[in-house]
């Protein structure tokens, strides 16, 4: 039985006017890939950010490798360093080259010497096939290339899990493939991932389990095949039908 890498119990996130996450519990085991999907505005990003400790949940606890990180007094910076996060809108550091983006955490968080940081950053860029572009600035790269650098930035820190918040949804359709290919390669290597995505073909291939999320709650979870053949909830069924129809049209 593999170890639980990340877990949340009875997680709530309540903003002034809306409740974004309602009593969510889930866990991810080592080497597992879980894929969360659901309508926009359903609280998926908020959940991802709570799990990555980028947002403080209102109630409930987040555990990483058995340690509760929602208690007061936890060193969040240290904890975040080993949790990879890939943003929907990419958010590379504009003033640094691709290599600089990947190196920053290695140098300033892990405090690696210059040479070692460079080697490790180059290796991470190689893994996402961006080594040749190491000296380009984000604004000189295409969206897909930028997102691959974003993945390398997370990867270089040697995370035990990578959380990806709709990594392809801000990209032009023709650029999605290069990012999903990169993620497929990571999946093959056994990287533990929590992915928010609506790329259904990709989901079917890589996910161990899919979670349908709506109005801040988990509506249904199970293996991808079940979602593609006979989802048990009506809401999930309708949503799947729409998504699949959209994909086949393209």
Partner 1 sequence: MDFIIEFLPRIFDGFLVTIQVTFFGVIMGLALAIPLAIGDLYGGKIVSTIIKFYVEFFRGSALVAQLFIFYFSIPTLLNIRIDWFTVGLVAFTLNSAAYQKGYIKGAMESVYEDQMTAALSIGLSKVQAIIYVVLPQSLRIVIPAWSNEFCSLAKSTAALLTIGGKDLTAAGRTMASQTWRILESYTFIALIYFLWITTVMKALDILYNKVKIPGLEVSA
Q: Which residues bind partner 1 (CB under 8 A)?
A: 52, 54, 77-83, 85, 87, 89, 91-95, 104-105, 108-109, 137-140, 153-154, 157
Structure tokens at 111: 């405090």
Give the residue with the Cβ less far from partner 1, 120 or 153: 153
Kind and range of the H or E run holding 106:
helix 98-108
DSSP reduced 3-state for 161: strand
Terminal CA-CA length for the chain: 40
- Interatomic CA distance for residues 31 and 6, integer angstroms: 11
Given a contact cutoff of 8 angstroms between Cβ atoms, the answer to whether 192 and 160 are in contact is yes
Given a contact cutoff of 8 angstroms between Cβ atoms, the answer to whether 89 and 170 are in contact is yes
Give the residue with the Cβ less far from partner 1, 124 or 240: 124
Give the residue with the Cβ less far from partner 1, 86 or 236: 86
> What count of other Cβ atoms lies within 10 Å of the Cβ of residue 139?
8
Taking the complex as a whole, the smallest distance from the CB of residue 205 to partner 1 amounts, in Å, to 26
Taking the complex as a whole, the smallest distance from the CB of residue 187 to partner 1 amounts, in Å, to 21
Taking the complex as a whole, the smallest distance from the CB of residue 244 to partner 1 amounts, in Å, to 32
Taking the complex as a whole, the smallest distance from the CB of residue 248 to partner 1 amounts, in Å, to 34
Give the residue with the Cβ less far from partner 1, 109 or 243: 109
The two most distant CA atoms of the chain are separated, in Å, by 55
Taking the complex as a whole, the smallest distance from the CB of residue 249 to partner 1 amounts, in Å, to 32
Given a contact cutoff of 8 angstroms between Cβ atoms, the answer to whether 26 and 34 are in contact is yes
DSSP reduced 3-state for 184: helix
Give the residue with the Cβ less far from partner 1, 54 or 218: 54
Give the residue with the Cβ less far from partner 1, 78 or 242: 78
Q: Which of 175, 181, 207 is nearest to 193 (CA)?
A: 207
Given a contact cutoff of 8 angstroms between Cβ atoms, the answer to whether 103 and 117 are in contact is yes
Give the residue with the Cβ less far from partner 1, 80 or 120: 80
Taking the complex as a whole, the smallest distance from the CB of residue 119 to partner 1 amounts, in Å, to 18
DSSP reduced 3-state for 116: helix
Structure tokens at 20: 């974004």
Taking the complex as a whole, the smallest distance from the CB of residue 95 to partner 1 amounts, in Å, to 5
């Amino acid at each position: 039985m593999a170890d639980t890498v990340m877990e949340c119990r009875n997680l709530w996130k309540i903003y002034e006017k809306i409740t974004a996450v309602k009593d969510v519990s889930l866990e991810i085991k080592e080497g597992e890939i879980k894929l969360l999907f659901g309508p926009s505005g359903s609280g998926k990003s908020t959940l991802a950010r709570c799990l990555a400790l980028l947002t403080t949940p209102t109630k409930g606890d987040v555990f990483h490798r058995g340690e509760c990180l929602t208690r007061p007094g936890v060193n969040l910076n240290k904890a975040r360093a080993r949790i990879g996060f890939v943003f929907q809108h990419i958010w590379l550091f504009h003033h640094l080259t691709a290599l600089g983006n990947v190196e920053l955490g290695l140098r300033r968080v892990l405090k690696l010497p210059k040479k070692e940081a460079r080697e490790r950053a180059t290796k991470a860029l190689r893994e996402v096939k961006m080594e040749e572009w190491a000296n380009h600035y984000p604004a000189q790269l295409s969206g897909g290339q930028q997102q691959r650098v974003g993945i390398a930035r997370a990867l270089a820190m040697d995370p035990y899990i990578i959380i990806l918040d709709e990594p392809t949804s801000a990209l032009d359709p023709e650029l999605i493939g290069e990012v999903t290919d990169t993620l497929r390669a990571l999946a093959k290597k056994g990287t533990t991932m929590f992915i928010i995505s609506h790329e259904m073909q990709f989901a079917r291939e890589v996910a161990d389990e899919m979670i349908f999320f709506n109005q801040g709650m988990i509506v249904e979870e199970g293996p991808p095949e079940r979602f593609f053949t006979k989802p048990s909830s009506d809401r999930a069924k309708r949503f799947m039908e729409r998504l699949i129809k959209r994909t086949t049209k393209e």
